[in-house]
């Protein structure tokens, strides 16, 4: 893995420097340090253990800190969590040369219709809360932050946002909480203050947001406060699969929220998971049908992921107990979306080949909600490997003009029908 390679390289240069790792993977599998050039793994949140270690306390006596001795793993439990998140200082961004990094990043490139356009963005992530009270089978966040949802005060969050805008000239904010809207009055206070301050800031929820905490009042304030992308955590279009995934989501609420968002002209996207054990071809097709219905209400961006069983999650344990993994080593589970290795689960209802077909079919059918003719042309051009040929033969300006012409003509045909 990258951690193995990086830690080995660091140890060669600095053999006497202790290396500490943290995050979701060490929190689920601290035993992995036995095969790495790593000295300590922190299981859970890192602030308290690291502060104690830097203060000179014996790591062996610190809860949540794992080490190795004579080839054996030492340590126990999960690190103590910070109850009052306002006690944590803002990130020391100057140490990491934030200003220089943002300056060097340059304009962002995004898709608008058929075109890739540049946009002058200075964007950073921010976290306003930790933990999640829900128990979805596929989620690994509880190993780090637990089930108890804790949140920063509205005043504390706004102070950091103001600092980001005034000191670092940030104009794009990615709020990556796992349960952003869990306390309605707090969320509304943040939104109202952003509207009042009028900082010229756009913000998004790339980690997704629970649909059942949204309503027209909240969404109107989100729009006015600068929400530029609202990603909905839907996961599936079959209620039975949602029960299996333990998401506790009512699909009728999703339709209501999508209709409101469309009316407010909010840019919306949705997460869907396919290939979770229990999904057969019929339940998969229900997701496609449901997604297309949401498309008629105004949802145009669908983010399709094949189910991945992160270590020690309920999904992982289920697959391990029933020998459902195609490849059993963690290296082949922790991969990126759109990689064919994503299909690492097999059941009586599907194998990897079937899952890759479902993923590609879902992308084609759900993207086609926006413009059925154009996206089917794109799908088959990529499938039969002629898209890159045209891109090579045609000058870039002609290629862009041709795409735009086909897109607009097919959109007109769809509207005419």
Q: What is the pTM of this model?
A: 0.84
pLDDT in tens, 184-227: 999 999 999 999 999 999 999 999 999 999 999 999 999 999 99
Residue 416 scores a pLDDT above 50? no
Give the chain's end-to-end CA distance (angstroms, integer). Answer: 52
- What is the distance between the alpha carbons of residues 167 and 94, in angstroms, rounded to a whole number? 10
Residue of 162, 177, 160 whose CA lies nearest to 231: 177
Confidence of residue 317 (pLDDT cuts 50, 70, 90): very high
Residue 290 scores a pLDDT above 90? yes
List the helix and strand counts (H, then E) for the chain.
16, 14
- What is the distance between the alpha carbons of residues 233 and 141, in angstroms, rounded to a whole number? 15
- What is the distance between the alpha carbons of residues 267 and 301, in angstroms, rounded to a whole number? 9
**Do 155 and 128 contact (CB within 8 A), yes or no?**
no
Q: Which of the 8 DSSP states describes residue 380? A: H
Q: Tell me phi and psi for residue 271, to 5 degrees.
A: -85, 135
Mean pLDDT across the stretch 265-281? 96
DSSP 243-284: HHHT----HHHHHHHHHHHHHTT--EEEEEEE--TT--HHHH
Residues 6+ apart with CB under 8 A from 204: 172, 173, 174, 175, 227, 228, 229, 230, 231
């Amino acid at each position: 893995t990258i951690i193995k390679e990086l830690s080995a390289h660091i140890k060669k240069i600095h053999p006497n420097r202790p290396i500490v790792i943290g995050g979701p993977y060490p929190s689920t599998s601290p035993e992995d340090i036995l095969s790495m050039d790593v000295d300590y793994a922190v299981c859970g949140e890192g602030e308290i253990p690291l502060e104690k270690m830097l203060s000179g306390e014996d790591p062996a006596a610190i809860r949540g800190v794992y080490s190795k001795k004579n080839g054996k793993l030492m340590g126990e439990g999960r690190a103590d969590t910070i109850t009052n998140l306002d006690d944590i200082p803002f990130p020391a961004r100057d140490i990491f040369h934030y200003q220089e990094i943002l300056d060097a990043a340059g304009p962002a490139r995004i898709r608008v219709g058929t075109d890739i356009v540049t946009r002058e963005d200075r964007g950073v992530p921010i976290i306003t809360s930790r933990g999640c009270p829900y128990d979805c089978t596929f989620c690994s966040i509880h190993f780090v932050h637990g089930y108890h949802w804790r949140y920063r005060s509205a005043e504390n969050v706004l102070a950091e946002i103001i600092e980001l805008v005034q000191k670092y000239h940030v104009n794009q904010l990615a709020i990556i909480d796992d349960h952003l809207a869990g306390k309605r009055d707090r969320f509304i206070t943040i939104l109202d203050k952003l509207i009042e301050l009028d900082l010229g800031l756009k913000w998004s929820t790339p980690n997704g947001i629970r649909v059942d905490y949204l309503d027209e009042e909240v969404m109107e304030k989100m729009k006015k406060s600068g929400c530029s992308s609202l990603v909905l955590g839907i996961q599936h279009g079959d209620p039975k699969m949602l029960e299996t995934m333990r998401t506790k989501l009512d699909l009728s609420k999703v339709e209501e929220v999508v209709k409101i968002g469309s009316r407010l002209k909010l840019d919306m996207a949705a997460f869907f998971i396919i290939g979770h054990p229990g999904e057969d071809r019929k339940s998969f097709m229900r997701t496609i049908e449901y997604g297309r219905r949401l498309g008629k209400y105004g949802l145009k961006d669908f983010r399709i992921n094949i189910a991945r069983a992160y270590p020690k999650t309920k999904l992982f344990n289920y697959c391990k107990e029933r020998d459902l993994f195609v490849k059993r080593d963690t290296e082949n589970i922790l991969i990126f979306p759109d990689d064919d290795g994503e299909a690492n689960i097999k059941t009586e209802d599907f194998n990897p080949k079937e899952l890759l077909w479902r993923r590609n079919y879902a992308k084609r059918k759900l993207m086609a909600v926006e413009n059925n003719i154009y996206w089917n042309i794109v799908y088959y051009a990529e499938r039969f490997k002629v898209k890159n040929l045209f891109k090579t033969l045609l000058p870039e300006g002609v290629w862009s003009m041709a795409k735009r012409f086909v897109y607009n003509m097919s959109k007109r045909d769809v509207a005419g029908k």
